[in-house]
């Protein structure tokens, strides 16, 4: 059954003639998160988190639940951004073609063919693109509520935010994203389901070995990390030159989030 996990609210100022806030709706296979960002202060002023149950039509039921239980869904916004946060994403070499079929075929080879999905291709730099898809059911249900909303993939925001060279880990409730950068740009991006501690450590070190990266010479950047939830990272950190924990800002709703939910992993939802 759908339920609301978190609701933290500041003062929203937008009116029909004075729109000063953007809404980010971050969607994964079992949850939806609303983050409201004030465009002038650049602070997040409201945040809601909802999770669906295990029902077959869990996402549809979650959208219906939001209609009556979200305080943010019916407010006025300057722009609404839909953000897909799933593992069906890859970095590919940019092709000098207008037809994106080549990217769709590459995605199908890696992840298998899935019908009723819209392809998204976003430029990373002059040589690489980010390739992902949005399930049609998400498109249909969300755009009914926000017809002007635009879709992107979470990995695109992560690539823009995690700009330092090194190994980046972004943590969520049941999975984490591994991103590796060096002086030549983005070298690795992959989603992993949380597993046993040894397997999680192996996933990161194996990626480094594949890229011929020595962790002893690299920084490990952690966002959404909490020692009680991600205990395996303590061992992982011993292989690296340093470990840097990145917290959500204390500005806006950040302070209330830290105080009311001290074990939260929601810092990864404030990178837009």
242-261 per-position pLDDT tens digit: 999 998 888 999 889 888 88
pLDDT at 104: 96
From 28-32, 81-85, 86-90, 206-210, the region with the lowest mean pLDDT = 28-32
pLDDT over threshold 90, residue 89: yes
pLDDT at 19: 97
From 177-186, 190-199, 263-272, the region with the lowest mean pLDDT = 263-272
From 20-24, 53-57, 89-93, 188-192, the region with the lowest mean pLDDT = 53-57
Percent of the chain surpassing pLDDT 90: 75
Distance, CA of 59 to CA of 30 (rounded, Å): 7
116-137 per-position pLDDT tens digit: 999 999 999 889 999 999 999 8
Strands of the sheet with 31-38, listed across from one edge: 3-9, 44-51, 31-38, 21-27, 79-84, 150-153
Q: Residue ranges of the domains in the chain? A: 89-133, 164-272
* 178 closest CA partner among 222, 130, 122, 112: 222
Question: What homologous superfamily does CATH list for 164-272?
Answer: Protein of unknown function DUF3822, C-terminal domain (3.30.420.260)
pLDDT over threshold 90, residue 7: yes
pLDDT band at 240 (very low <50, low <70, confident <90, very high): very high
For the entire predicted model, the pTM comes to 0.94
Distance, CA of 47 to CA of 10 (rounded, Å): 9
pLDDT at 138: 86
Q: CA-CA distances (angstroms) from residue 246 to 55, 58, 92, 225, 265?
A: 35, 32, 28, 8, 11
Average pLDDT, the chain: 93
Q: CA-CA distances (angstroms) from residue 265 to 10, 172, 198, 228?
A: 20, 6, 21, 11
Distance, CA of 152 to CA of 83 (rounded, Å): 5
pLDDT at 126: 81
pLDDT at 140: 84
* 142 closest CA partner among 5, 271, 24: 24
| Residue with the larger pLDDT of the pair 126 and 191 | 191
Mean pLDDT of 49-55: 82
Ramachandran area for residue 68 (φ above 0: left; ψ -120 to 50: alpha; else beta)? alpha
pLDDT over threshold 70, residue 214: yes
């Amino acid at each position: 059954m759908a339920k609301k996990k978190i609701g933290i609210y500041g003062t929203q100022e937008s009116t029909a003639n004075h729109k000063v806030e953007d809404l980010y709706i971050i969607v994964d296979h079992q949850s939806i998160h609303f983050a409201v960002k004030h465009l002038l202060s650049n602070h997040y002023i409201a945040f809601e988190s909802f999770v669906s149950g295990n029902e077959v039509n869990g996402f549809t039921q979650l959208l219906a639940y939001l209609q009556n239980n979200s305080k943010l869904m019916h407010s006025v916004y300057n722009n609404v951004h839909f953000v897909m946060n799933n593992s069906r994403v890859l970095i590919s070499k940019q092709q000098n073609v207008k037809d994106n079929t080549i990217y769709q075929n590459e995605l199908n080879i890696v992840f298998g063919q899935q019908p009723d999905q819209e392809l998204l291709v976003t430029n990373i730099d002059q040589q690489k693109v980010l390739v992902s898809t949005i399930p049609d059911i998400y498109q249909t249900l969300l755009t009914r509520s926000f017809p002007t909303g635009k879709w992107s993939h979470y990995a695109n925001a992560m690539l823009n935010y995690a700009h330092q060279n090194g190994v980046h880990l972004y943590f969520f409730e049941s999975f984490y994203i591994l991103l590796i950068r060096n002086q030549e740009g983005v070298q690795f991006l992959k989603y992993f389901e949380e597993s046993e501690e040894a397997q999680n450590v192996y996933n990161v070190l194996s990626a480094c070995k594949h890229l011929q990266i020595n962790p002893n010479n690299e920084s490990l950047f952690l966002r959404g990390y909490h020692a009680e939830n991600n205990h395996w990272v303590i061992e992982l950190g011993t292989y690296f030159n340093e470990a840097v924990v990145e917290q959500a800002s204390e500005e806006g709703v950040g302070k209330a989030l830290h105080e009311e939910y001290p074990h939260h992993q929601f810092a990864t939802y404030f990178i837009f």
